Structure 1
Amino acid sequence: MKEIRYLVRQRLPFRGHDESDESANRGNFLELVKYTVGQNEVISKVVLENAPKNNQMVFDEMSEPLIPETRDPVPSSFLLLDLILDYPVVWQQTVQSNVSDKEQMAVVFRFVDKHGTVKERFIGLIHVKETSSASLKCAIDSLFAKRGLSMKQLRGQGYDGANNMKGEFNWLRSLILRENSSAYYIHCFAHQLQLVVVAVAKKQFEVGDFFDMISALLNVVGASCKGKDRIREEYLKEIEEGINQGEIKTGKGLNQELSLQRPGNTRWGTHYTTLHRLAHLFSVIIKLLEFVEEEGTDSTKRRQANGLLKYFNTFDFAFYLQLMLLLLGLTNSLSVALQKKDQDILNPMSLVKSTKQQLCKLRDDGWDSLVNEVFSFCKKHDIELVIMDGEFVNPRNPRKRSNMTNFHHYQVECFYTILDMQIQEFNDRFDEVNTELLSCVASLSPIDSFHEFDQLKVLRLSEFYPQDFTHVDRRSLEHQLGLYIDNIREDERFAN
């Protein structure tokens, strides 16, 4: 909307202190909308009070509908809440001057009303004095008390599990679970995978250094159009030479034009694409770095090219390139599956289990094949090999003796350590309780004529919520389900 563009460009606050209908000044945004309405009869029919209640862009209208629901004389077991939080943010003065430099937490409630309808409401932004788990829990307790809600009504938690708030939200999750064991936390599987594969790998110093070098490479050769054009030209020359010498096959879909792709911070699959193309274009990239080092006009880029050439011609680089290609390639199928919008919940859970098994298998049996790939890459590109039985020299402190062999360093301190971290993180983020819970929920799916319906899973699902199903309820449920299944099978309307 033009009003939004105007306020952003002028760096004006959107909201007013009082946005009620009786207010003389409802804030810059609403006053601009009112002015536009007065100038255009067509627009006046579809905005503000004439718009749907969930699209009136008035804060009070967004948060208040929940209050009547919570004050209804409904048994607490019928009002089930799912608490969704986003990590605290600092609002800059250019966005909202009346709350500048305050850390705030966005809160959304998803709940079931007395009619069994699932609803979702953005409650607002809560100011927090600090970003500790205790402070966040205190803010949530105050919000629940204000709304007349109980923590016992919670049946789910959802937070952003990344970056600086990951640890605090983990503690917050634990604090809420201590108070209510049925408030299960299930994070977005696709985001979880992003955190597992890339974030964990970067905890290992050498892998973090490897990704930093990839980032520097993209700044040197991938940031300019000239650099990209030169990569394409050199790659085409190599393809032509390979075809002429009979080393490269030709055909439909083969030998497509390639260039380096900058990976996205929140999509680990792009890292896999970047590394795959780096391995494929390696000799071309080396030529381009040599050109930048010798003939570049920017002295900073020339120094960076020199450092990159030294690193890319080391065994370390070849080792971590092949290791990360192996790890990212192993989880690529899972990543693609998790990002499908029409995904059957049982399929990704099965893939998560299979991926964890493949990681364990790779740890036990994958060392020899990895080393062979690394040695093959080094020989192809004239990178000096290391003697595995020789003493490892730490590049960060070459004068100090390491008292370990290269074999021990690369196998135990690198290969085993990284895979152990990956497996542990998989187990933590995709724990058995959550996957079993989702599996039981999937048994109620109406897809394919309730094909996944399973009486035992429904009974198991009731055990996850002892506050909603007593022992007597569960015994009754077992009999009710048996009668239900027999009844349905005898009903001609459900013959198919």
Structure 2
Amino acid sequence: CSYSTDVAEWPQKIDEDARQYWMKKGSKDCQNCKKTSFSSSKKIYENEARYCQKTYFTYTHKPTGREYERDWLCYSVSQGKLYCFSCILIYNKSYSSKFTSEGFDDWKHAPHYIKSHEESVSHREALITLLTLKNKSCQINPQLEAQVESEKKYWRTLLERVVEVIKFICERGLALRGRDEKIGSPTNGNYLGLLELLAKFDPFLDEHIKKYANKGKGHVSYLSKTISEEFIAIIGSNIQEFIIKELKTSKYFSISVDSTPDVSHTDQLTLILRYVLPSGPVERFVQFLDMEGHTAGQMYNSLIDFFSKHDIDMADCRGQSYDNASNMSGKYNGLQAKIKELNSYAEYIPCFAHSLNLVGISAAESCQEAVRFFDFVESLYVFFSASTLRWKILVSEISKTKKTFLVKKMSETRWFARYDAVHALLSSFDVIKLALLLLSEDQDQKAEYRLKAHSLHASMLKLETCFLIIFWEKILSRVHATSTALQRANLSLNSATHLLKSQKLLIKFGTRD
């Protein structure tokens, strides 16, 4: 009986005769990499054709510089895809990996995924099993099958617990790792700490930790950071695949992006997709995209690369929403303009809350009296918060009344959050004024602080200060309410229009009172 050397033509389930045949013969005839042009592997990426490469079938061991062949990697001439010889023989084609089921052909990211599969636990176990069977005349006896099944059941039971702990931590945005990775250490992080906690009530997990923990490198325990990081990547990939599948079912979508620095001070582009399901509209965070710069062109390229990689048609984009930064909102060279060149139906809608914030900043900074007023409000907070004793005196005076508002720090980025600071000042005006008077007369205070308290107290006695507190509290309370309402997920277009119209009327007529 002859067997095809094209792995893609093998059946879904390899029978025992075929398995024994290929175990004895090896993978050389199935690799199809020596005299093949790889023409059937052609794949287009943004008008650029890419193919399978001969270099994929070898790798260099960095410490020694020696080159080795990947004898497990096979090329299918009929499909133009790569398959794993070892995994197919051991797990059959039903195993959930592109190298065993449908074949791998992502040539743009091939080196990364080939290396990832090569270093995976499942691939290594397949190689070991294949070698073991080959040394035992390729016979899979019932005893070995029972042993393999027992091992699979054991590790699957463990991994169920490990995955649940990882999901619990990630859902809450907590850090996994601590200062060390030793079981029993109080600084081993949330991941190992939670496993230790569960082990107190789970005999299986307790026995596993006692047997395998703190063994060091080279010992399989499935408790290391490597395993947790692999599972996070797998879970993240599955979630992203689910979102993209959901998106393609919905067809039409809108995008929202914004750049944000991470803890390593590297800027990343946050990508959010919005689309409509039968149950209603949804908003999904998809991925942080690496940014090479802040120009519209660089952000555009990052977006297009992502959509091309996941086969998402930009022609189905019906909306885009960003803040008012020039690189985003620019009419001719902004990100929104570049996307509209690609798809004229992708209407740009700026963030109304951000627009309102910019209007407030611009309006207040154009008035010297307003600048001086908010500087005074900030000075009050700085003066009291800089000393625990001064803060204690303020709290003591407020506790004697029914007032509950302490001085608040003003937000440097969200201008309308200044409402909290002004509202607190208006609500506790008399108490704050009294606390300043007491501090200005307190001989236990340093002279410079008594002088500062006297200066702030004198400012609070001025009519213009009282007027500006009342004026800005009235304006900011309405603007703050509008800004908050504009950010609600269930806000309708009609409600947003009425809110902005009422805001304009307040500014136009309300300030005349």
TM-score tier after normalising by the smaller chain length:
0.3 to 0.5
Please give the TM-score of this superposition, normalised by the length of structure 2.
0.47
Q: Considering Cα pairs closer than 8 Å and 6+ residues apart, tell me whether 1 or 2 has the greater RCO.
A: 1
**TM-score (norm. length: structure 1):** 0.48
Give the structure with higher Rg (CA): 2
Higher strand share: 2
